[in-house]
A = this chain, B = another copy of it.
Amino acid sequence: MGSLIAYGRNEEIYGEGEAADFLYRVKSGCVRTCRVLKDGRRQIASFSLPGDVFGLTPGEEHTSSAEASVPSEVIAVKGSTLRSRAGVDPALAILLMGLAIAELQRTQDHALLLIKSAQERVATFLLDLAKREASNIEVRLPMSRQEIADYLGLTIETVSRTLTLLENTAAISLPTSRRVILCNRPSLSKMNV
């Protein structure tokens, strides 16, 4: 059920203000959801990896946009159907409720992240990604430094500097800029307050 759609890098899946009519599940790639302030500052609210669901939005209109961070395939399910059926199908309503609740949890965690120091934010981010990827010690970063910065509420330079700092303290190793090896989990966890 639902239709498979492929998006290129940075291609928009939906925009802020558009009607929220679909629910999506990532099949491959990575999708970011963003909100943008009037003056152009961007906040990335979430990264959705394969298996993750996105597109559930407060209200009838999307309050954020969604774009593919890398070429991605997503499965779209028409939401108007879901919405109207939820009124008569309690099981479906509960399922949607569960999605909203999970989204709420993630958003709360994200807000909490934003009061931490730069090092703590980066460490938390890496550990979170590691938990979501199967691999235990290596993390592949499907997103650019700019996207990480916009997710963590930092600048691209600070993210870069913090990563090299973590590398210099032997907490991580960076074979390439998109691959991170977590050499010393305890020292990362110590920063994950």
Contact = CB atoms under 8 A, between A and B. Distances in A.
Interface string A57-71: 011000110000000
Contact of A63 (B100, B105, B116): B105
Chain A interface bracket (under 10, 10 to 19, 20 to 34, 35 or more) = 35 or more
Contact of A86 (B41, B93, B108): B93
Contacts of A114: 111, 114-115, 153
Interface of A: 35, 37-39, 41, 43, 45, 58-59, 63-64, 86-90, 93-94, 96-97, 100-105, 107-108, 110-112, 114-116, 153, 193
| Nearest 5 CB-CB pairings of A with B | A58-B105, A114-B114, A93-B93, A111-B111, A37-B193
